[in-house]
Amino acid sequence: MYADLGLISLGIVLLYLGGESLVTGATSIARASGLRPAVVGLTVIAFGTSAPELAATMAAAFRGAPEIAFGNVVGSNIANLGLILGIAALIQPIRAHATFLRREVPFMIGTTVAMLLIVHNDFVGRVEGTILFGALILYLWVLLRDGRSNPSEPSEQRPETVDRKLVWSGLARVTFGILLLVLGARWLVAGAVGVATTLEIDDRIIGLTLVALGTSLPELASVMIAAMRRQSDLILGNLVGSNIFNILCILSLTALVRPLNIDAAAARGDLLVMMVFTVAVWPFMYGLRIGRKRGVALLGGYLLYVVWLVQ
């Protein structure tokens, strides 16, 4: 039991350090290419902070724990919009752009609806994984096509040449971060499965809470830093992009490598909560601002969900 708790603690620490290293390196590479902050958040940072979820979900699937793998995706999406966005809004009110409200948020909602439709038959196989991954490629193509800095932006945001030293430094950080993420994910999942077995706790709850929160630490850390620096574009891009990547990238790659058998009926309540948080973000952004009152509502909703989950 104590050994399992030690593995969980060490795994979370490595996931946090690895996620930070990966995000820092990937952001340096992206900025050297002149991408807008919102696009950096939606792509590079979102993918970087979703890497722990990918590693943990893959590890859980290969260990024969599909409920933890699937619960990690669902729980992480709920934590991103309830816990992390709520905390960020409490630190500093978040401002959104009209384009983000019209395009990225509806796409996140559509992606979530697609996931609900796919999992209704208790199986996510390679066909479903291929469809989801194809949607990810199309999404990235559209973002990167329109992602260069505008001519009206300051020249320092539009580098004329690529800083090769910055790129190589970023690549080194990314590589180091991935190594930490893979190792941390293996230890976290091993410890979580051990605790679940010892205490006879349902794998679904472990995946939705402990593993989901542990792998969401990179999002939490990067969002808190961005909130203190008043970088709303990075906050929204990171969280909305992470939720999209969790479904289109993590769930799809896991299904392609190892198809998942899940109990959709048992997860119906969790899926409904995920859908409620996903849809609620849209009206919360009307007025192009998420203030502290709305942050309290999001955080309160997440805490109520956790209380309901553990009862």
Structural domains of the chain, with CATH: 2-147+163-310 (1.20.1420.30)
Q: What is the pLDDT of residue 150?
A: 47
CA distance 214 to 228: 22
CA distance 81 to 273: 11
List beta partners, residue 64.
none
> Please, what sign has the CA dihedral across residues 121, 124, 127, 131?
positive
CA distance 106 to 163: 35
Contact 257, 61 (CB under 8 A): yes
Contact 20, 218 (CB under 8 A): yes
> What is the 3 state secondary structure string of 104-116?
HHHHHHHHHHHHH
CA distance 101 to 90: 20
In DSSP notation, 256-307 reads HHS-EE--TTTTHHHHHHHHHHHHHHHHHTTTSEE-HHHHHHHHHHHHHHHH
Tell me which amino acid residue 250 is: I
221: closest CA among 12, 73, 7, 1? 12
308, two tokens:
């309901």
138, two tokens:
């199309």
Q: What is the pLDDT of residue 13?
A: 86
Which residue carries 């329109």 as its tokens? 146
Q: What is the pLDDT of residue 161?
A: 62
Exposure class string for 149-184: b at 16+ Cβ within 10 A, else e: beeeeeeeeeeeeeeeeeeebbeebbeebbebbbbb
28, two tokens:
């340096």
Main-chain phi, psi angles of 264, to 5 degrees = -65, -35
pLDDT by 10-residue block (mean), the chain, 311 residues: 84 82 76 72 78 80 81 89 93 87 91 92 91 93 72 46 76 84 79 78 72 73 79 86 93 89 85 94 84 93 88 72
CA distance 77 to 73: 6
How many C-beta atoms lie closer than 10 Å to residue 109's C-beta? 16
Which residue intervals of 80-151 are DSSP H helices? Answer: 85-91, 98-99, 105-119, 126-145
List beta partners, residue 148.
35
CA distance 225 to 230: 9
